[in-house]
Each structure stands twice: as structure tokens, then as C-alpha cells.
A and B are shown apart, each in its own frame.
Chain A
Amino acid sequence: MLQLVVSGLVLGCVYSLVAFGYYITFVTSKTLNFAQGSTMMLGAVTMVLLTVDHGVPAWLAAPASVLLLGLFGVALERAAVRPFVRRSSNAWVLSTLAVGIIIENLVQLVFGKSPRGFPSSLVEHPIRFMGVGVYPLEMIIPAVVLVVAGAARLAYTHTMTGRALKATAYDREASLAVGIDVNRMTSLSYALSSMLAAVAGILLGPLLGVSSSMGFLIGLKAFAVAIVGGLEQPIGILAAGLGFGMLENVVGGLFGSSAKEMAGFGLVIAVLFLRPSGLFGRAPVRRV
């Protein structure tokens, strides 16, 4: 049981990481990348291709993959989001979903259908503590999440770009008026969002294996986490991620995987019934 809780929390950290990606793009541009799950998968696949197939050492391959995915994020925003936002249409929902389909099938073609293991020294020997086995990687994951969250916070408040990003999130029009390049900020938010997904993919790869279909469900669950936490509340997202991961793992361990999905998503609906802006979201005051 404790084992289920612990690995659930680790999984929850990954959900939060991916969910932060939804948060970043939503606050800056009120759009979401529904290919976020596939983006995460792409990060993991890039990592495997670099290390396993091309022998690049992991310390170099990991940042390289993350950067590549950042570029991917920029491209995705340009191609599948901006054109629709410009004509104020919500077709980006479907276009980003379509991008997800494209990536998933492209990867399947290049990478093969079956999942590949992702050997890492960090998942060879579990450390035992009070009857709970934890891989070193599973201890690194929460640490990475904390570091990323901390770094984001610092960058937001202490760099000019960070402040511009924050300003754009707060008020697009006003940011334009003070000369912030809002389009660039949106690009940046997509880059950051995709990089977060890539980090999540790289962390998750050794634990779950890497395949073209690994991202789909995680992407949806991370979306659920972002919504339940309140799309504009990073702390809420972190809490919701941990809670969701834990609940899901415990229910899944006890009742099987379909019950797990029903419980997880059932809870999402229940939460939204009671709190329409998420657990930690504040209901906006209506302006008429």
C-alpha cells in the first residue's frame, strides 16, 4: 500500500510537470497544446535515439533533447496555433490534436511499434526503506520538479523576459501597449511548455519504457490535473498532480486499470461540479 502511494506520488510529479506546460501556454495566450502528451513522448524518443542509437552520453543527450523539443514547441505554435488565434477561432483544439496524431504515427514509423526499454543505471537497484522499494530515479523526479518550479519562479520575478511573460499572462493588451512582443512571448511559452514535457518524458522513459503511444493517456491526465488544480494556479496544479497520481495508483493497484481511469476522471467531473474553476482556482468576478 505504501509502495503504491510512493510510486503514485512520483507519477503525480510527472503529471504536474506536464500539466505546468498547459498552464504556461494558457496563461500567456489562452490556448492549450493538446499534443502535449505526444510532445512528452517525442522528448523520450529523442533521448532514446540519441543515447541508445547514437551513443551520445546521457548528460549531453538530455539537455539536447530538451532544447530540440523547445524548438519543436515554437514550430508547433507557429503552424498549428497562431494562424487560428489570429482569426479568433478555436480550431487550435483540433489542429493541435491532429499534430499529436501526426507525431505519434511518424514516431511509430521511425521508432517501431513496440515499446523499447530505456536502460539507465538509476533504475537498476531499488533502495529499500521501511519495506518500500524506491529507485534512485524515483527520488530524482520530485527533486527535478522542485528545481524546475523554483527556477521558473526565480526567472519569472528576476529576469526581464520572465517579467514580460508574466505581464503578457496578466494582460495581453496592456503588454502590447508597453512594447512587449506578445507573439514572441507566446512562442516562448510554447517552447517552455514543450521543454517541460520533454523533461517529463526523459524522466519517465526508464520507468515505463518508451513507445509512440506512451504519451497519449498521460497527456490527457496531465490536462485533467491542470484543470482540477485550476489552470492558472501553479501550486494547485502541483497539489492536484500529486493527489491524482496517488489516487490513481492506489485504485489501480487494488481494482485494476479500467477502474483506475473511471475513478480518476470521475473525480475530475465531481471536482468541476463543485468548483467550476478547479480546486484552487478563483471564480472570476463577472464584468458586464
Chain B
Amino acid sequence: MSIARQINWAAALTVLVTLAAAWFLPHYVGRYYTHMLALAGVTIIAGHGLNLLVGYTGQVSLGHAGFYAIGAYTAALLATKAGLGFWATIPVALVLSAIAGVLIAIPSFKLEGPYLSMVTIAFGIIVHSALIEWDGLTGGTQGVLNIPRISWFGQKLPLERQFFVIATAVLLITLLMRNLTRSPWGRNLVAVRSNPIAAQAVGLDTAFVKTIAFTLSAAIAGLAGVLFAFLQGFISPEAFDFDQSIFFLTGVMFGGAGLTAGPIAGGLLTTFLPELLQEFADYRLIVYGLMIVLSLYFLPHGLMGIVTRWRPVGAAQRGGRALEVAKAFEVRPPPSSRGPVISLRNVQMAFGGVRALNGVGFDVHPGEVAAVIGPNGAGKTVLLNVLCGYYAPTEGEIRLQGRRIDGASPQRIARAGVARTFQTAQLFSELSVLDNVRLGFAPRSDKLLFDCLVASPRMARKDHEMRADAESLLQFVGYAGDPNAPAASLPLGHQRLVEIARALASNPLLVVMDEPAAGLNPTEVNELKTLIRKIGDHGIAVLLVEHHMDLVMELSRRIVVLDYGVKIAEGEPDLIRKNPEVVAAYLGSEEGAHQD
């Protein structure tokens, strides 16, 4: 508790000092530089918004000037045509630019890389063309003139006070971004960038996370637009073209994408650099271009990347290890019946003409360890992918505690209680071990977005809980390494353990493991055996796909044998071992069961 107070004091002090500086600075630097600083403030705000997308969520926007334009024109038109004041225009501008953000987010669900860049470019150009074309409303190429100044209780503010308003806005947005990126939601954003498949596996709705990022980002750009319009007093389409989008992006990359301080350094630099380059006259833009290339080359993490050492987002401070294991598993309502956790009936999966699964069906009961085995290409991994929602089965039913889940999205199935580990561990490689496991609790942060933005005590409490629970889960799986190490740096065996801990974090009914023993040494395989048994003892069903026969035979109570997508046998290990069809499938006997 006392630590929390100390941090608050430090933050409060920073805020006060910044505000005091913003109040007095204009007297020392004169009108021209005050205006320049105010413009830099606008760029910083827009940069914060863009950083959320580019730096955290990994969605490159090349049309951010579009959102900026929507904010600026909304405010300018409301002020000049409807007579609204500065403060009244802000909410309208924020809402409209946020709506544009939602619209641009929708294609981002399915589009990747260059395809998404194209949508953002097209959006920017359409907005820019609309500003010119729709001249009855926007004043065409002339733009909007005579926008009133920022006012305070009906009184128009002089430049130095306008600057103070903008500086306060910069401070506010910076704090919000700082809070957000250090919170569970910040981890969600990074997770979507870092490993979309794993993000779905922990139950994160990537579409929803992207929508939130685009919406916030667009609204913040809209706010920058409002400030720009009122600061300048006039706006015209020129200020909102493709080059402006590039200018924003340059600022973020220059300053350091993925760092809260990045857009601040970048905004100041991109605003004042052209000033410094004034003496180059005609060479100005050439030098500017060269500096972009060189800085990308020599400062891969931007200017702030040198100052702040690149560290995983939301990396936690070292803390005491925690608590008893049981706490990490929430108490679930007792199963609706004593029946199976999961039951598959006649599951078919066809890719074009190839039948990867042909009428597979079996049950797994609570606390039971079951295994799916079969020769290569038998359809084992396809089965897991169908079960976890990565493919929708062509036919058949999958029920989780009696409720149909076939065809649902991976994140819905994950949330319903099916956790998954992958053949090659899918971790969020640049995040710490602890953050990886905490992301297993992602569904817990669903309703915390606002709390994350303002760093509410509720958020702090929940995050603390997640941290403690994550630590006890790491203990449970027997991870002995550094909880703050980036996941990418871990040896294979540790990666597996972390992935299992993350899977358990969702408090699953069933854990599905795709070849958990692959690549492990004999000691590690033994530890894995103990761990899987322990998981079963906690009442969690485990479904293994494994080639490691020794492990399968020792652990499983039920074995399902697949061959060419067909279930050729099911039963206890001893029966399976003696089953002639199974032996045939593995050894390729002539009387094998390969009719289809």
C-alpha cells in the first residue's frame, strides 16, 4: 500500500512540474516558439494515438491524417457554422473520429500486412478527396476560415494560455497511454501483435482488441485535429494529405514505437527538425528523408529506445513468490451432469476432396487423461484444430459439458473451458514469462478497459491478483527459471512449462496438448508425466496427441487410435497395445484397415 502511495506522489509531482513549466514557458520562448511548441503538442497527441496501433497492436496505419481531418473539420464546422465553443466541439469530434476508427477496424479483422496498409491509405485519400469535393460543407480547397480561438468561460484565450490547454491535453493523453500500456489491456494489445494464434488460444478476441485499439487511436487523432483547428484558426485540405500521415508515422518511429515516451520525442523532433533544416533550403526534404532512413537504421527502437532500454511492455518488478496453488484455480460451478467433459460425435473434416477426419467420435471425462495416437498424417493435429475452433468441422457434433461448441471461434471455445498448447510452443515471445501466464487470465480484463486507462485501484488490485495467481501457476508447473525473462530467451523445456501454465490460467475444463513431449530430454519427459498427472488430479481433463508411446501408455486411461482420419480403435492402453488393427496401422501390415 505504501509503495502505491509513493508512486502516486511521484506522478503527482511530475504532473505539477509539467503544468508549471507549461504555464511559464511561453514567457521565455516568445510567441513564435510557443506556437511551434503548441503544434508539436498536437503532433505528440496524434502520435500517441498512432503509437497505440503501430507500436503496441502492430497495425500500421498509413492514413492517420484521415482521423485527424475528421476531428479538425468537425470542430471547425461546428464552431463556424453552428457557433459552438471549443469545449462543446470536442465530444462530437471525438465520437465522429472514433466511429471512423471502428469502420476502419472492421477490415483489419481479416486483413494483414500490405492489405491493411492499403485500406488505411485508401481511407486517408478518400477523406482528403472528400474535403476537396464536398465544398458546400467543407469549403473545398479554401478550407474553413475564421475558426474562433480556444476560450475559457466565454473568454478567448491568448496564445500562451492556448498553449497551456494543449500542454494539459498532451499530459492527459500521455498519462492515459502510460496507464493503458502498463495494464492488463496493454498486454492484450501486445499479445495480438506478438502472436495472434496464441492470443486466440488464451481467449482473447483479436477482432475486439483491434477494434478497441483503432477506436482509441482514431479518437485521440481526432482530439489532435480539434486542437490543431482551434490553434491555427483556419484549416484546408493540404494539412490532411498522405504526407501528413507519413509525418505522423515518422514521428512515432523516430521517437520509438511501443514506448510511451516515443511520440513525445518524435513529435518534438519532427516539428522542430524542419526549422533546424531551414538553412538547407531546397535540400530540406532530402535531408529529412535521409534522416528517416538513417534513424531507422541506427536507432531501431527510436530515440527513446536509447534512453529507456528496450524492455518488455508491462514487465513487472521482482516480487515475492506467492501463495498456495489452489488459489490459482477458480472454483467452477459443478459440472451440469456427471457426464463427459467433451464428447465428439461423427466429426468430419474435409479440405477440398481430402477427408482429414472421417466420422471420429469419443468422450473424455473430468480428470481423465486421454490420448490420440496414430501414424503421421492420421489427422491428429487436424482433430485438435477442429476441437479448438481453428477449423469448423464439415460435419458432426462437439459438445463441451453437453453444449455444442463445434464451429465456434477459437477464443469462444477457449473461454468455454478448452485450453490448448501447441506442437511448437506458441508464446508471446517479447513478453516476460510472468506476462505470458498473466495473459492466460485475459478474459478477466474484459471489463477493465476504463480502469486500465485511469489506472484505478480496482485495476491495480486485479492485476496484483493475476500476478500472484500467475506466480503460483508457475510454481505448480515447476518452472524454476526467471519469471521476468523474455519468453523468447527460454530453452524449449521451459517454454513448454510456461505454455502449460498459461493454459491452466484460463481455469479450463479440458487441456488439449499437441505433442508436449516433443524435443524434451528424458528427465524433462518424466517431469512432464508428473505434471500431467497432477493436472488430472485437479479434476481437469487432459487430451494428448503424442508420439511418445511410453508416456502415452503410462498416463492415459483411454487411447483413441486414428489412421487416415478414421478411428480404428479406442480403449485402455493394454487393449490398444494388443489390437491387431493398431499394430497393422503402425507397422503397415498387408491386412491393414486401409479400405478408404
Chain A positions within 8 Å of B, measured between CB atoms, are 26, 30, 32, 79-80, 83-84, 87, 89-91, 93-95, 97-102, 104-106, 108-109, 216, 220, 223-224, 227, 231, 256, 258-259, 261-262, 265-266, 268-269, 272-273, 276-278, 285-286, 288
Q: Are B133 and A227 in contact (CB under 8 A)?
A: no
B124 nearest in chain A by CB position: A265
A92 nearest in chain B by CB position: B296
CB neighbors of A among B112-128 (8 A): 113-115, 117-119, 121-123, 125-126, 128
Per a CB cutoff under 8 Å, which of B125, B286, B289, B300 touches A265?
B125
A209 to B62, CA, bound (A): 28
Contacts of B283 in A (CB 8 A): 105, 109
Q: Are A95 and B296 in contact (CB under 8 A)?
A: yes
Q: Are A101 and B385 in contact (CB under 8 A)?
A: no
* A220-B242, A262-B126, A269-B123 known; A102-B114 Cβ under 8 A: no
The 5 closest A-B CB pairs, nearest first, are A102-B289, A98-B292, A258-B133, A265-B122, A276-B110
Q: Are A94 and B249 in contact (CB under 8 A)?
A: yes
Q: Does B587 contact A (CB under 8 A)?
A: no
Q: Are B293 and A98 in contact (CB under 8 A)?
A: yes
* A94-B250, A272-B111 known; A224-B132 Cβ under 8 A: no
A287 to B550, CA, bound (A): 28
Q: Does B233 contact A (CB under 8 A)?
A: no
Q: Are A99 and B129 in contact (CB under 8 A)?
A: no
A237 to B117, CA, bound (A): 17
* A26-B114, A220-B242 known; A261-B250 Cβ under 8 A: no
Q: Are A94 and B296 in contact (CB under 8 A)?
A: yes
> Beyond A80-B293, A98-B290, A265-B126: 6 further Cβ-contacts under 8 Å?
A90-B60, A101-B285, A105-B284, A105-B289, A109-B286, A262-B133
Q: Does B390 contact A (CB under 8 A)?
A: yes
A216 to B168, CA, bound (A): 38
CB distance from A214 to the nearest CB of B (A): 15
B106 nearest in chain A by CB position: A273
Q: Does B288 contact A (CB under 8 A)?
A: yes
Contacts of B106 in A (CB 8 A): 273
Q: Are A273 and B118 in contact (CB under 8 A)?
A: no
Kindly count the residue-residue contacts between A and B in the assembled complex, taking CB atoms under 8 Å apart.
128
A227 to B123, CA, bound (A): 15
Q: Are B292 and A95 in contact (CB under 8 A)?
A: yes
Q: Are A101 and B288 in contact (CB under 8 A)?
A: yes
CB distance from B58 to the nearest CB of A (A): 9
A284 nearest in chain B by CB position: B112
Q: Does B596 contact A (CB under 8 A)?
A: no
CB distance from A259 to the nearest CB of B (A): 6
Task: Give chain B's interface residue range (CB within 8 Å of chain A).
Answer: 35 or more
18 contacts across the A-B interface (CB closer than 8 A): A79-B293, A87-B300, A90-B60, A91-B300, A94-B250, A95-B293, A95-B297, A98-B296, A101-B285, A105-B283, A105-B284, A105-B285, A108-B282, A224-B122, A227-B115, A261-B128, A268-B119, A269-B126
Best-buried of A102, A227, A231, A265 by chain B (most CB within 10 Å): A265
Q: Are B297 and A83 in contact (CB under 8 A)?
A: yes
Contacts of B123 in A (CB 8 A): 265, 269
A-contact bits for B445-471, CB 8 A (1 contact / 0 none): 000000000000000000000000000
Contacts of A93 in B (CB 8 A): 60, 62, 117
* A83-B297, A261-B129, A269-B107 known; A32-B290 Cβ under 8 A: no
B116 nearest in chain A by CB position: A272
B384 nearest in chain A by CB position: A288
Q: Does B197 contact A (CB under 8 A)?
A: yes
Q: Are A94 and B107 in contact (CB under 8 A)?
A: no
Q: Does B422 contact A (CB under 8 A)?
A: yes
Q: Are B133 and A259 in contact (CB under 8 A)?
A: yes
Q: Are B121 and A223 in contact (CB under 8 A)?
A: yes
Q: Are B351 and A268 in contact (CB under 8 A)?
A: no
Contacts of A97 in B (CB 8 A): 246, 292
CB distance from B403 to the nearest CB of A (A): 23
CB distance from A5 to the nearest CB of B (A): 22
CB distance from A256 to the nearest CB of B (A): 7
Contacts of B122 in A (CB 8 A): 224, 265-266, 268-269
Per a CB cutoff under 8 Å, which of B114, B125, B246 touches A32?
B114
A87 to B381, CA, bound (A): 32
CB neighbors of A among B83-124 (8 A): 106-107, 110-111, 113-115, 117-119, 121-123
B422 nearest in chain A by CB position: A288
A23 to B105, CA, bound (A): 25
A286 to B119, CA, bound (A): 22
B249 nearest in chain A by CB position: A94
Contacts of A258 in B (CB 8 A): 129-130, 132-133
Contacts of A89 in B (CB 8 A): 300
Q: Are B129 and A262 in contact (CB under 8 A)?
A: yes
A261 to B122, CA, bound (A): 9
A89 to B107, CA, bound (A): 23
Q: Are A261 and B125 in contact (CB under 8 A)?
A: yes
A-contact bits for B271-291, CB 8 A (1 contact / 0 none): 000000000001111101110
Contacts of A30 in B (CB 8 A): 113
CB distance from A200 to the nearest CB of B (A): 19
Per a CB cutoff under 8 Å, which of B115, B253, B300 touches A272?
B115
* A106-B286, A109-B283, A272-B107 known; A91-B121 Cβ under 8 A: no
Contacts of B119 in A (CB 8 A): 268-269, 272
Q: Are A94 and B351 in contact (CB under 8 A)?
A: no
A286 to B128, CA, bound (A): 36
Per a CB cutoff under 8 Å, which of A102, A220, A227 touches B286?
A102
A100 nearest in chain B by CB position: B289
A127 to B272, CA, bound (A): 55
* A101-B285, A223-B121 known; A276-B242 Cβ under 8 A: no
CB neighbors of A among B421-463 (8 A): 422
Best-buried of A98, A220, A256 by chain B (most CB within 10 Å): A98
* A105-B285, A269-B119, A288-B197 known; A94-B126 Cβ under 8 A: no
CB distance from B135 to the nearest CB of A (A): 9
B131 nearest in chain A by CB position: A258
A224 to B528, CA, bound (A): 51
Q: Are B296 and A84 in contact (CB under 8 A)?
A: yes
B286 nearest in chain A by CB position: A105
Best-buried of B119, B123, B422 by chain A (most CB within 10 Å): B119
A259 to B135, CA, bound (A): 12
Contacts of A269 in B (CB 8 A): 107, 119, 122-123, 126
Best-buried of B128, B249, B284, B285 by chain A (most CB within 10 Å): B285
B388 nearest in chain A by CB position: A288
Q: Are B114 and A227 in contact (CB under 8 A)?
A: yes
A277 to B107, CA, bound (A): 11
Q: Are A276 and B107 in contact (CB under 8 A)?
A: yes
A-contact bits for B154-191, CB 8 A (1 contact / 0 none): 00000000000000000000000000000000000000
CB distance from B227 to the nearest CB of A (A): 25
A30 to B55, CA, bound (A): 20
A102 to B283, CA, bound (A): 9
A-contact bits for B194-206, CB 8 A (1 contact / 0 none): 0001000000000
Q: Are A220 and B293 in contact (CB under 8 A)?
A: no
Q: Are A99 and B293 in contact (CB under 8 A)?
A: yes
CB distance from B174 to the nearest CB of A (A): 23
Q: Are A288 and B385 in contact (CB under 8 A)?
A: yes
